[in-house]
Chain A
Amino acid sequence: MKYCEAFAALLDPYLDGELSPEEMVRIHEHLDHCPVCRAYADDMLTIRAGFPGVEDTPVPVGFADAVCAAVRGGAAPRKKRAAPWAKALVPLAACLAVVILLQNGPLSMQCKNAALTAYDSAAVEECAPAEAAVESPTETGDSVGEAKAGRQVPTATQSPAASAPQAYAALSEDEAAPANSGAGVTSLNTGDAWVEHGNIVFSAVVFLTQAEAGNALDGYEGRPYSDADRPGDGAAGTGYALERTDFQRILDQLDASPAVTERQEATTDLCCIVVTDASSAVN
């Protein structure tokens, strides 16, 4: 039985919940392409189910009922959330970004990331202080949701630079996806679209048909996506800019293995999921 050398060391810790989020992304990516490791994971989880100890796991009273109530109530899982305190940073970054871009040419990575927040007017909109900060997971079941309702948690210790990019795909907290009310954000000259090799080069891009994407991207803000290197294609679809971990997590949820194009010449750490209208994905 062969096992993948590079990932052998990660597989068991993965199954034991011992990996860091970054390592988990790597292992998930690998599992997408490796039937051997997938089979190992499948078998180990099956074996685990046969160990008596698992059946003794304490589960909160009414847990299954709460989940099913949420499902029947039409609940969807929470989407990406920016750490509450990070939202306060966004308008400042956006202001800086506009100034920097108008004045300078080449940008450092951090400035680019900050600049991109200016595209995301939804992120700026969220900075309406009182409303955005309070999280009210009304869609979750009673027994698990109530304990968390209304909790504001500015306890994150991540550095601002690391967290600000989260705002790109950030959404308003309530499930009714709001239209942008234009909180005075200034769009850059390049307009409200992703132009690959024009105004940006994503570090990874994947193309999904609407059917493949389903509603995995609901609530995320997409922008028209096109590729300057392929002028004949016109607008290839709607592009959703995401951090690598979220990008991977969404692809995980689909449990499909669409071909991901990695770009060495990327100008950002962000990745992009492009939802096309075509019946077959365009690469």
Chain B
Amino acid sequence: MHTFAVWLKATHISWLITHYAWVWATAQVIHFFGMSLLFGCIALLDLRILGIGISSPVSAVNGLVPWGICGFIINLLTGAIFVIGQPLQYVDNPGFWLKMLFIFLAGGNIAIFYLTGVADRVEVLQAGDEAPLVAKVIASASLFLWVGVMFFGRMLPYFGSAF
């Protein structure tokens, strides 16, 4: 992994990213937009499953999920810009790997949600219907994991001595 990071640092695109100061700053700003979009939409669905805003049918709230996915993709791309630009800052940073772990777990949580059929059970809920307990557990896990992702993201400079 470390040699891969060194190789990345030597690429032209990595040089481009660090050479123009506005690239990093702009990517940071867009990373925060993507985070707000992602968290806003996904947290909305999670809160509905947990019973807050129960006057919406879940299928209506599901309409926001594509936008949340959009936010995730925006962050994936800007995140890639960071990692490609300064790979050595991240490869040795335990905080970075914890953040990736939490993203992976959040993805696993989403996979469980859709693959075990809980998503279908939840989709048909109308206004005022309580979600099944399994769905509530998955929704709480989702909230915890995404807050964790934000936590480790924010703490990146404070873990290890890479920064």
> Do A and B assemble together?
no
A-to-B contact residues, CB < 8 Å: none
